[in-house]
Amino acid sequence: MNTAIHLREIRDKDRNRVGGKGFALAIAARNRMNVPDAVVVSTEAYSNYVAATGLRERILLELNRKSFNEMRWEEMWDASLRIRNMFLNTPIPTQLSARLSDSVDKRFSGKAVVVRSSAPGEDSAKASFAGLHESYVNVRGTEAILEHIRLVWASLWSDAALLYRQELGLDVARSTMAVVVQEILVGEQSGVAFGKDPNDESQAVIEAVHGLNQGLVDGTVEPDRWTLDRRTGRVISHIPAHRDKAIVASTEGVRLEPLPPLKVGTPPLNKEEIAKVYDLVLVAERLFGRPQDVEWTFRGESLYVLQSRPITTMVTSESRDKRSWYLSLRRSFDNLRALRAKIEKELIPTMTEEAARLSDQDLTVLSDWELVEEIKKRSTIHRKWVDVYWSDFIPFAHGARLFGQVYNDTVRPTDPYEFMDLLGATEMTSMERNRMLEKLASIIRENPQLAEILIGDKRTIAAATGNDEFDLLLNEFIDRFGDLFHGMAQSTQQRSAIIRVLLEMASRPHTPKQTEPKDVEALKNTFLSHFQGEQRVEADELLDLGRTSYRLRDDDNIYLGRIEGQMLAAVEEGRRRIKNRARVDTDRLDVEDLIQALKDPDYVPKKTVSPETAKTDFRTKARQLVGQPAGPGIARGKARVILSPADIFAFKAGEVLVCDAVDPTMTFVVPLSAGIVERRGGMLIHGAIIAREYGLPCVTGVPDATSLIRTGAELTIDGYLGIVVLGE
Amino acid sequence: MKTTAHLNKALRELLRTQQLAVLATQGGGQPYGSLVAFVATDDLKHLLFATTRATRKYANLLTESRVAIVVDNRSNRDSDFHEALAVTVMGKAQEVKGSERDRLIELYLSKHPYLEEFVMAPTCALLRVTVDRYYMVSRFQNVMELHVEQ
């Protein structure tokens, strides 16, 4: 078995075992282009590793828990994280590791290298997608290099690769990965060049930055951009960058640094250098037979090719294919830092203000026509914030993922989600709300008289019960969180709905939360102990960013819920007004119909048709359903399936919450519940976060959960394995 | 419901393609397992198998007609853990006789033509299992129950 082959020893027959990048570099070297010295770890090494360690079967089991068609991107990310952790925790078998060490030692003893993925077939234009697999810059020392080879192997199963599995022909049984270990060239200027602009075939494009091109590739450093005439090389346009920083090599890895003033004012390339890069892409095109996407760097006068691959365009129709958007969620630390400032300083204050302004308005004094305008206005406002939610809040949630990855890389925990315990030690708005509910319940618990008043007074809850502490606190609660209850029940029922939940809570003893705070401090110290000096400061900052991201993942739902609540309040007012008109089933009216009915007293709403269910001879019942283990523990209880928002008010203590997706309007029953089952999958979703906070067993990503499970069914939740069993 | 249609199809396919099933009977509280060649009726409400009357399974069935049957498509490889589909059938077995037997033997032999001599022997009994429910296990741990309305 040829596990590591030097560039100069690569022959045409080795094409598949050295992968696309490795083969292209070998061809370039053979044709006397400047390429950094490199060794390619062959695909046989990967195959040997996954076969000998049993990893191949574990990957198979992980990826076959559920059909890909039923997986959300978040679930693919989770699966990918678990697989990555398997690679992190599975050492390379001694014999293979000895051979690899030998080759690496011989070639690079002590030198820094770049460890790049080189997937077979990626040199054919069809299967070449940039950025699906990982590469690591400035890795030093045999042990570190071997570890990064494993990480590159793991990236064969990255979330991005899983998204593009069909195009890649990804197949656990057959897919392999070669790895290029390349001497690092610390260039003064670097960049990429496209022999042919995908948007204009008559042009070529060069992008360049000062320093290493890592920053350009991941979007942290903005490049200068030149457009050239493809035939003559004449510069057509130059768009200078706002140059302020550069990626430079540091002792371990790379670092972002401010650019010295002299370089800020100078484009990375002069005229001669532009011409040299242009020549280089032409030579590459001639060599490989089609236009190339070349990564290059200048060291002194010499221009080096770091990698070359055919140009591909990912043609995706925006509406049908969300994958490129998912990939854009993978943000850098700097990008997330900026996003955090925007969210905390701008978006959330504006949102809170807007919700408060809307709630101050008295809807009952509006005429029908004015109300129509108000409903439209509020719908527009709501839609605007939903857009913000997708464009800013969801990408920011990636902060928790970024932290998770760094945590797993440094700490190597057996539980790939241990990092959530560290992130979870933060205050969330919903936790505060739940604490207030618990306080109210405890007042009822201690005052049997108060309980009697509340029970007897269910229909018309008086504003005052005579218990001042309770009345004050309840009013404060409704002031702060009452708007979340809009649209779930009529506003007049709001108060009684809250009281019903309080009575339910009071009917059983208070059980304090089970998470142990002592762990968190220890986890934090262990994590930080892996870093020193400047890096430690950064790690601390990353943790803080991760915590904010984690907390916001929960809170943003609540802020958005408030805006939605205001929109629904206007809709509710409209429904109330036309309810008195005969024969109109207002609960089923959609907003469009409602607006029509408000405008025109004679309007007859369209009939709503309920879909017919197919007839079969067999009555199908689920016995055991598999999802993702999202909160450890085991629990039994009767199911309470939430199909419409009002269902939540019937929730009884000790039941299992079964829903499509836990939203913030449901979380107040979580302290009452025995466990959570959710159709939507993922570890960083609302339900999983809340369940982990309360130490409740939780299974997410159960396909068809709300149709396969009926309210009242006896459930056993296995939160260790992610299994839900129905029946005795 | 999509799930139901999908399950029915998978079940039909499995019962059509598998030749053998594990039959569980019991005698005096002692469970007893044996391999039988089977066929399912078109409506999947019945399974047929044949046995000579001197066998332990036949003796067991005379006193306890309730049976369990396992049909699966495992291939004795690691991949079975995520690929194999297994079905546990619960039901009651009854011997069929007379014209009914002639009709059902035709169905049985359409799947197992090489068993003609065996089935036609006077000592051989044809048994029909009336299915009460199917338990389908897929992807290692997913279990669905299909209740058959007879």
- The whole-angstrom distance between A617's CA and the closest CA on chain B is 6
Q: Do A440 and A411 belong together in one domain?
A: no
Least confident window among A63-67, A553-557, A571-575: A553-557
Q: What is the 3-state secondary structure (H, E, C) of A7-35?
A: HHHCCHHHHHHHHHHHHHHHHHHHCCCCC
Listed by start position, the domains of chain B span 2-147
What is the per-residue DSSP string for A131-186?
A: TSS-EEEEEESHHHHHHHHHHHHHGGG-HHHHHTHHHHT--TTT---EEEEEE---
- The whole-angstrom distance between B69's CA and the closest CA on chain A is 18
Per residue in A286-313, pLDDT tens? 998 888 889 999 998 899 999 888 876 5
Least confident window among A104-113, A512-521, A703-712, B66-75: A512-521
Q: What is the pLDDT of residue A489?
A: 44
Q: For residue A364, give the DSSP letter.
A: G
Q: Are A73 and A326 in contact (CB under 8 A)?
A: yes
The answer to whether the CB atoms of B143 and A623 lie below 8 A apart is yes
Residue A320 lies in a domain: no
Cβ count near A550 (within 10 Å): 26
B3 at the A interface (CB within 8 A)?
yes
Check residues A112 and A123 and name the one with the higher pLDDT. A112
Taking Cα atoms as reference points, which of A86, A93, A100, A80 lies closest to residue A181? A100
Look at residue A201 and give its three-state secondary structure: coil
Q: What is the pLDDT of residue A493?
A: 62
Per residue in A267-290, pLDDT tens? 999 999 999 999 999 999 999 888
CA angle A474, A479, A485 (to 5 degrees): 90
Report H helices in A447-532: 448-456, 468-481, 491-506, 517-528
> Which residues are bridge partners to A705 per DSSP?
none
Per residue in A6-54, pLDDT tens? 999 999 999 989 998 899 999 999 998 999 999 999 999 999 999 999 8
B77 at the A interface (CB within 8 A)?
no
Q: Do A454 and A373 belong together in one domain?
A: no
The yes-or-no verdict on residue A83 having pLDDT over 90 is yes
Give the mutation candidate from B11, B142, B148, B150 for the A interface (greatest A CB count, under 10 A).
B142
Contacts of A66 in chain B (CB under 8 A): 139
Q: What is the Cα–Cα distance from A636 to B112, expressed in whole angstroms?
A: 47
Residue A606 lies in a domain: no
Nearest to A626 among B7, B142, B145 (CB): B142
Taking Cα atoms as reference points, which of A217, A209, A188, A192 lies closest to residue A277? A192
Q: Do A192 and A299 belong together in one domain?
A: yes
Q: What is the pLDDT of residue A168?
A: 74
Look at residue A697 and give its three-state secondary structure: coil
The answer to whether the CB atoms of A620 and B5 lie below 8 A apart is no
CATH number at residue A639: 3.50.30.10
Q: What is the pLDDT of residue B149?
A: 83
Question: Which of B 46-75 lie inside 8 A of A, CB atoms?
Answer: none
The answer to whether the CB atoms of A622 and B146 lie below 8 A apart is no
Q: What is the Cα–Cα distance from A142 to A140, expressed in whole angstroms?
A: 7
The answer to whether the CB atoms of B1 and A620 lie below 8 A apart is yes
The answer to whether the CB atoms of A624 and B7 lie below 8 A apart is no
Q: What is the Cα–Cα distance from A539 to A238, expressed in whole angstroms?
A: 38
User: What are the CB-based long-range contacts (under 8 Å, 24+) for A217-225?
Assistant: A217/A131, A217/A192, A217/A295, A218/A332, A219/A332, A219/A335, A220/A245, A220/A247, A220/A256, A220/A332, A220/A334, A220/A335, A221/A245, A221/A246, A221/A247, A221/A256, A223/A191, A223/A268, A224/A267, A224/A268, A224/A269
How large a percentage of chain A has pLDDT more than 90? 35
Per residue in A391-450, pLDDT tens? 888 888 888 888 988 898 888 888 888 888 888 766 566 677 778 888 899 999 998 888
A622 at the B interface (CB within 8 A)?
yes
Residue A353 lies in a domain: yes
B80 at the A interface (CB within 8 A)?
no
- The whole-angstrom distance between B30's CA and the closest CA on chain A is 24
The yes-or-no verdict on residue A487 having pLDDT over 50 is no
Per the listing, tokens 């396969």 go with: A708
A721 at the B interface (CB within 8 A)?
yes
- The whole-angstrom distance between B45's CA and the closest CA on chain A is 9
Q: Do A495 and A565 belong together in one domain?
A: no
Q: What is the pLDDT of residue A578?
A: 80
Closest residue of chain A to B2, computed from CA coordinates: A614
A625 at the B interface (CB within 8 A)?
yes
Radius of gyration of chain A (CA): 30
Burial A473-493 (b: 16+ CB within 10 A, else e): bbeebeeebbbbbbbbbebeb
How large a percentage of chain A has pLDDT more than 70? 87
Residue A323 lies in a domain: no
Residue A3 lies in a domain: yes
Determine the structural domain holding residue A437 and report its residue range: 430-506
Closest residue of chain A to B150, computed from CA coordinates: A617
Domains of chain A: total: 5
Q: Do A589 and A657 belong together in one domain?
A: no
Give the mutation candidate from A618, A625, A628 for the B interface (greatest B CB count, under 10 A).
A618
Q: Do A440 and A481 belong together in one domain?
A: yes
Domain B2-147: state its class: mainly beta
Residue A139 lies in a domain: yes
B81 at the A interface (CB within 8 A)?
yes
The yes-or-no verdict on residue A127 having pLDDT over 60 is no
Look at residue A118 and give its three-state secondary structure: strand
Residue type, B104: L
User: What are the CB-based long-range contacts (under 8 Å, 24+) for A353-361?
Assistant: A354/A381, A354/A385, A354/A563, A355/A483, A355/A559, A355/A562, A355/A563, A355/A565, A355/A566, A358/A563, A358/A566, A359/A483, A359/A566, A359/A569
Q: What is the pLDDT of residue A317?
A: 37
Size of interface A-B (CB pairs under 8 A): 76
ipTM of the complex: 0.76
Parallel/antiparallel/unpaired status of strands A634-642 and A714-718? antiparallel
Q: Are A559 and A381 in contact (CB under 8 A)?
A: no
Q: Do A489 and A584 belong together in one domain?
A: no
Q: Do A401 and A496 belong together in one domain?
A: no
The answer to whether the CB atoms of B146 and A60 lie below 8 A apart is no
Closest residue of chain B to A722, computed from CA coordinates: B141
Radius of gyration of chain B (CA): 16
Residue A214 lies in a domain: yes
Q: What is the pLDDT of residue A383?
A: 93
Q: What is the pLDDT of residue A650?
A: 87
Q: Are A24 and A40 in contact (CB under 8 A)?
A: no
Closest residue of chain A to B43, computed from CA coordinates: A617
CA angle A683, A684, A686 (to 5 degrees): 110
Closest residue of chain A to B137, computed from CA coordinates: A624
The yes-or-no verdict on residue A613 having pLDDT over 50 is no
- The whole-angstrom distance between B10's CA and the closest CA on chain A is 13
The yes-or-no verdict on residue A614 having pLDDT over 50 is no
What is the per-residue DSSP string for A323-360?
A: HHHHHHT---HHHHHHHHHHIIIIIHHHHHHHHHHHHH
Nearest to A618 among B142, B143, B147 (CB): B147
The answer to whether the CB atoms of A620 and B145 lie below 8 A apart is yes
Mean pLDDT of A191-208: 88
B16 at the A interface (CB within 8 A)?
no
Contacts of A620 in chain B (CB under 8 A): 1, 3-4, 7, 144-147
The yes-or-no verdict on residue A518 having pLDDT over 50 is no
A1 at the B interface (CB within 8 A)?
no
Strands (DSSP E) contained in chain B are 20-27, 30-40, 46-52, 66-72, 86-95, 124-138, 142-148
Q: What is the pLDDT of residue A584?
A: 64
Give the mutation candidate from A53, A172, A610, A617 for the B interface (greatest B CB count, under 10 A).
A617
Check residues A236 and A690 and name the one with the higher pLDDT. A236
- Residue A476 pLDDT grade (very low, low, confident, very high; cuts 50, 70, 90): confident
The yes-or-no verdict on residue A314 having pLDDT over 60 is no
Q: Do A635 and A564 belong together in one domain?
A: no
- The whole-angstrom distance between A393's CA and the closest CA on chain B is 34
- Residue A119 pLDDT grade (very low, low, confident, very high; cuts 50, 70, 90): confident
Q: What is the pLDDT of residue A122?
A: 67
A13 at the B interface (CB within 8 A)?
no
B36 at the A interface (CB within 8 A)?
no
Q: Do A372 and A264 belong together in one domain?
A: no
Q: For residue A212, give the DSSP letter.
A: B
Mean pLDDT of chain A: 84
The answer to whether the CB atoms of A617 and B45 lie below 8 A apart is yes
Q: Do A434 and A579 belong together in one domain?
A: no
The residue out of A184, A208, A231 marking a domain boundary is A184
Q: Which residues of chain B have pLDDT under 50?
A: 1
Cβ count near A459 (within 10 Å): 7
Q: Do A192 and A180 belong together in one domain?
A: no
Q: Are A501 and A666 in contact (CB under 8 A)?
A: no
